[in-house]
Amino acid sequence: MADTSQKSPKADDQPRLLSGGNPQIAKGYGEAPVQAYIAAMPGWKSDLGRRLDALITETVPDVRKAVKWNSPFYGADDDGWFLSFHCFAKYVKVAFFHGASLDPVPPGKSKQANVRYLDIREDDTLDEAQCRAWVKQASALPSERI
């Protein structure tokens, strides 16, 4: 006789946190995987993730979303992506894939010539006006095919 009972959710059903506290979320496209990633971000980072997601969505209303490589990605067209963010132990790193073309250029340098980062720590004050300006500029630039 087959077991038709439903299993109740366990703590094990929660996304696993990888090194640095980054949630392990399966690759997926659309709103649901991004919201699952944000919900699984530990502590203060989840609130920051919601703020970043809202800021990006308000600035680029038709933004495309996905989770790839355990990070949310945002794109303005069908070909690629302009921004991503990722949890680390003490900060959240926002990656602007063509950040070297933004004005002003985000402060964090990369080994990749075009990429620039913004690292946001728990006690940092997020300059939402500057972030919106960067998101608007980044979404108008050619996308990265990742």
Per-residue pLDDT, 78: 77
pLDDT for the residue 18: 81
Q: Decide if pLDDT at 5 tops 60.
A: no
Work out whether strand 64-68 and strand 28-29 pair parallel, antiparallel, or are unpaired.
antiparallel
Q: Which domains does the chain have, with CATH numbers?
A: 18-140 (3.90.1150.200)
2 pLDDT exceeds 70? no
Contact in structure between 30 and 66 (CB atoms under 8 Å)? yes
pTM here? Answer: 0.87
* pLDDT tens digits, one per residue of 19-70: 777 899 999 999 999 999 999 999 999 999 999 999 999 999 999 999 999 9
